[in-house]
Chain A
Amino acid sequence: VLSAAQPAATLGAGRELQVIGSLLAGVELETAWVSGSLAEGLHNASSDLDVFVLVERESESSNRLGQADGSKVYHSNANRIEYAVWTRAKVERLRRRLQDAPLGAGTKLVLEYLTEAEVEFLHRLRIGQPVTGAARFAELRASFDFGRLARYLFENQCIIVDDAFDDAVGMLTAGAARSAALRARYTVECSMSLLLFSRGVTNHKDKHRERLLERLRQQDPSLETLYGRFWGLIARLPDTDDELATYVRRALAFAEEVVDVAETD
């Protein structure tokens, strides 16, 4: 199953790849790929290795891995491996859904138009590395418009930023300074995710935001000042109500500046 171009060296997960190879042996599949934080260089000691398997249709052999509905199956004999089996029909439906997503309409119809599992599948297809069926994998990946995925994430994140911003305004106006400050800080964090999506990032996991921003700053050093202000805002919250009110105003003003930059990209 593992080809000569197996990604063991690049992923640093040779033992797990051997386990994957033995589990996939005999399964009627079109392609399989490894993905997740390990494939993206964002991993740590607790990271799972995600394996996606594409089958033409559900079969007895594929059922050994799990239901062909995209749901994840934890492989207990190798505690870093999760499987998700997708049928060709399900993937094709997702390709059409992404193509038909109501982008640019300026409405909330786009909010959570795709499911969490679908967004994750798309991103992990984008960053994945094949363990078998490399040509089919390349064909599959080329059939998706990942720029459209980034745009989808951007438009969703705009709605999230707007809701958080308005929450903070409403809370501070009502005198709930602490709640407003927490919500304003969240608005700031969400605005930085928006910036990532505006630059084509399709990893939507909050837990990776910092590492992704670090990479973005390496690509674009002009963002250093902006990042410094971001960190200064999220790292410390004041204590008194007066200071909290000032903090909310500063945080929301900063988030607006980030949105403006992201919208300009």
Chain B
Amino acid sequence: MSQKPIETSVPVRAWDVRKRRKPNGAVLIRLCEVFAISPFEEQIWRLCDGQRSLEHLAHSLSLPSMDCNAAHALERVKAAVIRLAARGMLEVLPAGAIGSGSPRSAADSKR
């Protein structure tokens, strides 16, 4: 049985949005629009480089520390991605839309 499209889709950060750390937590900013995000959403945001599907995101987000099984983790990731996408902070692309030519993240480079 084939998977639902959302699980294999690839979220990518909107090009015109920046994330900043504020004293009370992280926010996403598009010009004058400010959107507060949770620490979990911030983790997701950092990983949305156009390379990872939702399944990959769920796997990357330290599942053991989430104290939940894989299916539950995927549901949490999906809910967060849908919330961010609804505000236009993320674009959700079909799998393979960006491909392997995207640059590695600076965080990866640092590691």
Q: How far is the CB of A42 from chain B (nearest CB, A)?
A: 25
One of B20, B31, B103, B107 near A254 (C-beta < 8 A): B103
Question: Would you call B106 and A165 a contact (CB within 8 A)?
Answer: no
Given known A-B contacts A104-B23, A222-B111, A162 and B106 have beta carbons under 8 A apart: no
Name the segment of B10-18, B54-62, B77-85 touching the other chain. Answer: B10-18
Question: Would you call B103 and A249 a contact (CB within 8 A)?
Answer: no
- A256 is an interface residue with CB less than 8 A from chain B: yes
Given known A-B contacts A169-B31, A229-B103, A260-B46, A222 and B16 have beta carbons under 8 A apart: no
Footprint of A on B, CB under 8 Å? Answer: 13, 15-16, 18-23, 29-31, 46, 103-107, 109-111
Interface centre among A158, A249, A256 (most CB of B within 10 A): A256
Q: Whose C-beta in chain B lies nearest to the C-beta of A262?
A: B106
The answer for the CA separation of A105 and B22 in the assembled complex, in Å, is 8
The answer for the CA separation of A3 and B61 in the assembled complex, in Å, is 60
Q: B16: which A residues are within 8 A, CB to CB?
A: 169, 173, 252
Name A's interface SS. helix
Question: Would you call A165 and B18 a contact (CB within 8 A)?
Answer: yes
The answer for the CA separation of A138 and B25 in the assembled complex, in Å, is 39
Question: Would you call A254 and B21 a contact (CB within 8 A)?
Answer: no
Question: Would you call B18 and A226 a contact (CB within 8 A)?
Answer: no
One of A105, A173, A260 near B106 (C-beta < 8 A): A260
Q: B110: which A residues are within 8 A, CB to CB?
A: 222-223, 226, 261
One of B19, B29, B109 near A222 (C-beta < 8 A): B109
Question: Would you call A170 and B31 a contact (CB within 8 A)?
Answer: yes
The answer for the CA separation of A169 and B107 in the assembled complex, in Å, is 23
Q: Whose C-beta in chain B lies nearest to the C-beta of A105?
A: B23
Question: Would you call A260 and B15 a contact (CB within 8 A)?
Answer: no
Q: Whose C-beta in chain A lies nearest to the C-beta of B42?
A: A260
